């Protein structure tokens, strides 16, 4: 072992004592036991291999399907599931410490369950639609990622329940999927907590930081009933909460590519604010009293999200973020928009411009080209929005683009000059 040779060399040279050498060897031995030395490439090939084998079996059976009797069809319908179960039992008792074996077996069973459900339904003409199929599939594979500690299966499960919510909630106009989805999601959260505790910097954990907020954003619309305007505010509060989570000590040390809460929260909030900067929204803003506004069913969702923000800020002592104050600002603008149109429109455009200038200044102060150009992109997006929205002449629009383009060039040139990269 390489580390043992190095320790022995230091010991013979008198650099370290016998006690220190024993402590170093014990440390690396424990580290090896806690984190098995397995290549990510092997894990990826294990998952890919299990998927391809499962798909290959399905294709071979499908090619000869019409020539088979019902009994033979039933046998082949359960065959992927039986093979997957046997594979899983072997891994549980023989190869449980191998991540590649666990992930491969779990993925094979995951798709084997889907294949068996589909083929049995086809053979015996069992009625049902896509939503019923997805719900049955997800319920059957729910224990899988807990038994085999399979992160890829947990991610596939999250994608599956999100797809179920989309199909059943948005295209079927059903009400049950709202609560069914949240129950299925709650069943996944203990595994996500396990990843946060045991593997905070792992790749699968980083994927979850993107998939979970994306799923919540997609499915939040299931609560919409009457007031789309209040749902906009609910989305803004949810995005502010994501940004708040992304700034927490557990997440702010992560790389930007691994901190999905921060990125989604920030970009989503800016997207909603840019949408509110258009005149069409405020022209169509339904005029109602404040009492009528808060009597809408969506107001309960807004109150819940606001309560969560208060809980994290004041009871958990999390650091406040600008996006929470942005939510309060937008809520005040919503109230003003009940009585006026022009005032909230002007305020939103000014506030959006201030955010862009803030990031430009922050990037210049911190000598950070990324923040600088991000602020300039915010300003550019506002100029482009007004290009299509405002009744301005082409000369004025052209001058605006020239000013923004010059701003990009001058700001980056000054930054690079400050770093002495250019003369």
Rounded distance between C-alpha atoms, residue 129 and residue 117, angstroms: 12
What is the pLDDT, as a whole number, of residue 214? 94
Helices (H), 277-368: 279-284, 290-294, 298-310, 322-337, 342-365
Q: Average of pLDDT values for 4-27?
A: 66
What is the pLDDT, as a whole number, of residue 35? 45
Cα-Cα end-to-end distance for the chain = 52
What digits encode the pLDDT tens for the residues 200-236?
A: 888 888 899 999 999 999 988 888 776 666 788 888 8
For the chain, the C-alpha Rg in angstroms (whole number) is 28
What is the pLDDT, as a whole number, of residue 285? 62
Quote the mean pLDDT of the chain: 76
What digits encode the pLDDT tens for the residues 118-148?
A: 878 877 777 777 888 889 999 999 999 899 8
Q: Average of pLDDT values for 237-253?
A: 83
pLDDT at 188 over 60: yes
Residues in CB range of 304: below 8 A, 6 or more apart: none
Better-predicted residue by pLDDT, 253 or 413: 253
Burial 410-423, CB ≥16 within 10 A → b, else e: ebbeebeeeeeeee
Q: Average of pLDDT values for 237-246?
A: 85
pLDDT at 327 over 60: yes
What is the pLDDT, as a whole number, of residue 160? 93
Rounded distance between C-alpha atoms, residue 95 and residue 92, angstroms: 6
Rounded distance between C-alpha atoms, residue 419 and residue 413, angstroms: 10
**Among the ranges given (9-18, 125-134, 177-186, 335-344), the one the predictor scored with the smallest mean pLDDT:** 9-18
What is the pLDDT, as a whole number, of residue 258? 85
- The answer for 368, left when phi > 0, alpha when psi is -120 to 50, beta otherwise, is beta
Better-predicted residue by pLDDT, 399 or 34: 399
What is the pLDDT, as a whole number, of residue 37? 44
pLDDT at 34 over 50: no
Rounded distance between C-alpha atoms, residue 151 and residue 155, angstroms: 6
Rounded distance between C-alpha atoms, residue 306 and residue 324, angstroms: 9
Kindly write down the DSSP assignment for every residue of 28-48, as one continuous string: HHHHHHHS----HHHHHHHHH
Using DSSP, state whether 64 is helix, strand or coil.
coil
Percent of the chain with pLDDT over 70: 65
């Amino acid at each position: 072992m390489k580390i043992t040779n190095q320790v022995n060399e230091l010991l013979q040279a008198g650099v370290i004592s016998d006690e220190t050498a024993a402590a170093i060897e014990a440390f690396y031995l424990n580290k090896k036991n806690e984190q098995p030395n397995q290549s990510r490439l092997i894990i990826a090939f294990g998952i890919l291999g299990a998927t391809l084998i499962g798909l290959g079996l399905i294709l071979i059976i499908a090619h000869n399907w019409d020539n088979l009797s019902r009994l033979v069809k039933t046998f082949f319908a359960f065959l992927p599931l039986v093979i997957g179960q046997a594979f899983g039992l072997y891994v549980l008792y023989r190869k449980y410490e191998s991540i590649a074996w666990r992930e491969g077996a779990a993925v094979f069973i995951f798709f084997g369950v889907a294949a068996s459900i589909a083929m049995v339904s086809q053979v015996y003409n069992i009625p049902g639609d896509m939503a019923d199929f997805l719900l049955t599939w997800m319920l059957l594979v729910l224990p899988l990622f807990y038994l085999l500690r399979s992160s890829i299966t947990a991610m596939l499960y999250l994608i599956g329940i999100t797809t179920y919510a989309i199909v059943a909630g948005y295209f079927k106009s059903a009400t049950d999927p709202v609560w069914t989805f949240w129950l299925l999601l709650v069943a996944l959260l203990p595994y996500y907590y396990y990843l946060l505790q045991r593997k905070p910097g792992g790749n699968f954990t980083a994927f979850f930081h993107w998939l979970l907020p994306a799923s919540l954003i997609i499915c939040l619309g299931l609560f919409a009933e009457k007031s789309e305007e209040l749902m906009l505010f609910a989305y803004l509060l949810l995005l502010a909460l994501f940004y708040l989570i992304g700034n927490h000590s557990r997440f702010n040390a992560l790389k930007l590519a691994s901190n999905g809460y921060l990125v989604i929260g920030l970009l989503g909030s800016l997207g909603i604010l840019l949408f509110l900067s258009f005149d069409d929204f405020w022209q169509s803003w339904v005029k109602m009293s404040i009492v009528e506004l808060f009597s809408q069913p969506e107001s309960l969702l807004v109150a819940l999200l606001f309560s969560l923000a208060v809980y994290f800020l004041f009871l958990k002592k999390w650091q406040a973020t600008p996006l929470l104050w942005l939510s309060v600002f937008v809520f005040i603008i919503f109230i003003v928009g009940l009585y006026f149109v022009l005032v909230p429109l002007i305020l939103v455009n000014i506030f959006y411009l201030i955010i862009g200038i803030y990031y430009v200044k922050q990037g210049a102060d911190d000598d950070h080209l990324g923040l600088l150009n991000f602020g300039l992109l915010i300003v550019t997006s506002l100029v482009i929005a007004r290009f299509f929205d405002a009744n301005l002449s082409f000369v004025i629009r052209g001058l605006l683009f020239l000013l923004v383009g010059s701003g990009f060039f001058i700001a980056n040139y000054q930054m690079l000059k400050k770093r002495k990269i250019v003369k």
